[in-house]
Each structure stands twice: as structure tokens, then as C-alpha cells.
Amino acid sequence: MKVIISIDAYTEEKLAESLAGRPGFFKLFYDTEDCGCNGVLVIHILEKPLETDITITVKQFTFLIDKQQESLFDNTLKLEADRAYPSFKVTSDSALYSANIRIKDVRGS
């Protein structure tokens, strides 16, 4: 399965701000630690991909999804930055995966 992620110009600007001029990869994954549920969609900025990650190039950015979680997503996703709050939402034509997603920079941690 090949995943395609679309972003608009405003989202592109906000993603660039999140990188703060440093190299990094945006990882979309369902975090199941301490949530007592099936997981919460999060976006982390990593220094490098893990061996189990697939890469998705979107404009000048590289997104990562773990191979084991790839089946949880539709083939075509849309990532949108919220204009009123520093968060993002991930949708597809058939699903709202999550809204109010904050990006967490975990480079160097």
C-alpha cells in the first residue's frame, strides 16, 4: 500500500516552523502508552527513521509511518493546520483520524 499525504500552503508553513530550521522527520503513529485505549494519533519529529518505518515525501518534508501501523490509515490522507490553534488534524475521504494533534519534537531526547 502506498500512502499519499496532501497539505496546503498554510500547513506547509506550520510544518516548517515546527522544524525550526533543523532537519527532521514527521512520524504519524498511534501512541498506546498509558492511554487505556486503542491509541491516540500523534505526530513526533524524529532525527532519523526507524528500521520499521516507511517514508512518504510531501513537498520538502518526509513523513514516517511504522509498517505495522500502515494498515490503520487510508491510502490518501490530508494533514491540515488549524488557523485558530497550534494543532493539526488528519482526515481522509472516509475518516477523521484525529483533530487537535500537537507536534512533539523528540529530536535529541
What letter represents residue 84's amino acid? A
Whole-structure pTM value? 0.92
CATH number at residue 62: 2.60.300.12
Give the model confidence (pLDDT) of 17-55 as tens digits: 999 999 999 999 987 676 656 678 999 999 999 999 999
Domain that holds residue 99: 4-105
Domain count, the chain: 1
pLDDT in tens, 73-83: 999 999 999 99
Q: What is the DSSP string of 69-107?
A: TGGGS-SEEEEEE-SSSS-EEEE-SS-EEEEEEPEEE-T
